[in-house]
Amino acid sequence: MNRFVAAVVAALLAGGSAQAQVTEEMLANDQASTGDVLTNGMGRDLQRYSPLDILNRDNVKNLVPVWAFSLGGEKQRGQETQPLIYDGMMYITGSYSRLYAIDLATGNEVWQYDARLPEGILPCCDVINRGAAIYGDKIYFGTLDARMVALNLKTGDVVWNRKIDDYKAGYSYTAAPLIVDGKVIHGVSGGEFGIVGRVDALDAETGERIWSRPVIEGHMGELNGQPSTMTGTLNATWPGDMWKTGGGATWLGGSYDIETDTIVFGTGNPAPWNSWLRNAGTPTEGNAGDNLYAASRLGLDPDTGEIKWYFQTTPREGWDYDGVNEVVAYTDRAGNKRWATADRNGFFYVLNREDGAFVSAVPFVRDITWASGIDETGRPIFVEENRPSDPAASADGQKGETIFAVPSFLGGKNWMPMAFSQRTGNFYVPSNEWGMDLWNEAITYKQGAAYLGAGFTIKPLFEDYIGSLKAIDPDTGEIKWEYRNPAPLWGGVMATAGGLVFTGTPEGLFLALDDETGEVLWSFQTGSGIVGQPVTWEQDGEQYVAVVSGWGGAVPLWGGEVANKVNYLNQGGMVWTFKLPKQLASAN
pLDDT (tens digit per residue) in 88-124 = 999 999 999 999 999 999 999 999 999 999 998 988 8
Burial label, 493 (beta-carbon count in 10 A; 0-12, 13-18, 19+): buried
Integer Cα distance of 342 and 171 in angstroms: 26
Residue type, 304: T
Rg (CA), the chain: 23
At residue 556, the pLDDT reads 87
Q: Is 475 within a domain? A: yes
Q: Which residues of 360-390 are buried (b: 16+ CB within 10 A; e: fewer)?
A: bbbbbbeebbbbeebeeebbbebeeebbbbb
> CB of 443 within 8 A of CB of 274?
yes
User: What CA–CA distances, in Å, run from 319 to 125, 275, 386, 446, 568?
Assistant: 17, 9, 10, 21, 28
Q: For the chain, which residues score pLDDT lower than 50?
A: 1-17
Amino acid at residue number 360 = S
Q: Chain centroid to CA 523: how far?
A: 25
What percentage of residues in the chain have a pLDDT greater than 70?
A: 95
Choose among 67, 68, 35: nearest CA to 50.
Answer: 35
User: What pLDDT is stored for residue 279 in this prediction?
Assistant: 83
d(CA 196, CA 188) in angstroms, rounded, equals: 9
CATH of the domain at 216: 2.140.10.10
Query: Is 17 among the domain residues?
Result: no
Q: Which of 145, 320, 322, 515 is catalytic?
A: 320
**H or E segment to which residue 5 belongs:** helix 3-13
Nearest to 63 by CA among 551, 536, 572: 536
Looking at residue 122, what is its pLDDT? 86
Given this model, what pLDDT does residue 574 score? 96
For 281, other C-beta atoms within 10 Å of its C-beta total 12
Is residue 1 situated within a structural domain? no
pLDDT at 587: 65
Q: Minimal CA–CA distance to 151: which of 95, 97, 211, 72?
A: 97
- Other CB atoms within 10 Å distance of the CB of residue 296: 25
Q: Does residue 447 lie in a domain region? A: yes
Write out the DSSP string of 95-147: TTTEEEEEETTT--EEEEEE--PPTT---SS-S-----EEEBTEEEEE-TTSE
Sheet strands side by side (includes 427-432): 419-420, 427-432, 467-472, 479-485
pLDDT value, residue 13: 36
Write out the residue range of the structural domain in which residue 231 sits: 23-505+516-584
Instruction: Report if residue 260 sits inside a domain.
Output: yes
Strands 49-50 and 494-496: parallel
Global confidence as pTM: 0.95
For residue 3, being part of any structural domain is answered with: no
pLDDT for 19 = 61
In a domain, 9, yes or no: no
Tell me the sheet residues that pair with 163. 147
375 is catalytic: no
Structural domains counted in the chain:
1
| CB contact set of 286 (below 8 Å; sequence gap of 6+) | none
Residue 563 confidence (pLDDT) = 87
Q: Is residue 574 in a domain?
A: yes
Nearest Cα to 313, choosing from 389, 374, 255, 245? Answer: 374
For 313-342, give one letter per residue: b (16+ CB within 10 A) or e.
Answer: bbbbbbbbbbbbbbbbbbebeeeeebbbbb
Q: What is the pLDDT of residue 9?
A: 37
Alpha-carbon gap, residue 106 to 457, rounded angstroms: 46
**What CA–CA distance (Å, rounded) separates 345 from 379?**
12
> What whole-number distance in Å separates Cα of residue 108 and Cα of residue 106?
5
Exposure of 580 in the CB half-sphere (CA atoms within 13 A): 25
